Structures are given as C-alpha cells and as structure tokens.
Amino acid sequence: MNRLASGIGMLVFAIAGAAEARPRAEPSLVVDVTETGVALNGYPARDLKELRVRLTDVFGTRADKTLTVKAAACVPYGKLAEVVSLAYQWGVKRVLVPSGG
C-alpha cells in the first residue's frame, strides 16, 4: 500500500473512531403540571416532595441539567412558577417553558 492510501485509511479510521466516542444524547426530561398534580416524563408524582426526590436523583448523574415544564392552560400561573422555582433549587440549571401557541 502506498503512503497516500495508508494516510487515507488512517483518516477514515480516525473519523469513524471519533463518531463512536461521542456521548449519547440524554433523553429529555419533561414535567407536566396539571390541575391535579405533576408528572415526570408521563409518570405521576404523588406530590412535590416525590418530584423533588426523582429530579435530584436524575440530575445528580446527568451532564445536561435542562428541564422542560409544560402546564395545562387551566393551571394557575402561581403553580407553574412554584414548580419552576423549586426545580432550580433542586439542581436544574435551565428550565424551558414552551408557549401554548
């Protein structure tokens, strides 16, 4: 094998190895706030204390500390604000609140 072919082979190997070394994307975490309570990724929490335990467990091992908080239109703003505020206290670094659009 000539030098050029050898160099190209090494470049292809380096690119393939870099792609394998990338960390996998962490799944999104979503808290749904309804009139009757909260749920994390579709799994209801009995109360905010249980939500705190689950979020602190998950965010203790994650590099991406982003949380999406969705609220039903009927949820008072104060309840949504409480969940967002508590999430920051529990270790979340960024909260996304999508608009109802």
Q: Is the pLDDT score of 17 beyond 80?
A: no
Q: Mean pLDDT over residues 14-40, rounded?
A: 76
- In a domain? residue 20: no
CATH number of the domain where residue 65 is located? 3.30.420.270
Tell me how many domains the chain contains: 1
Average pLDDT, the chain: 82
What is the reported pTM? 0.72
Percent pLDDT > 90 in the chain is 60
User: CA–CA distance from 9 to each of 2, 3, 13, 22, 61 (Å)?
Assistant: 11, 10, 6, 21, 38
- In a domain? residue 61: yes
- In a domain? residue 7: no
- In a domain? residue 6: no
Domain that holds residue 73: 25-96
Q: pLDDT for 48-95, tens place per residue?
A: 999 999 999 988 888 999 999 999 999 999 999 999 999 999 989 999
- In a domain? residue 17: no
- In a domain? residue 19: no
The pLDDT assigned to 12 comes to 47
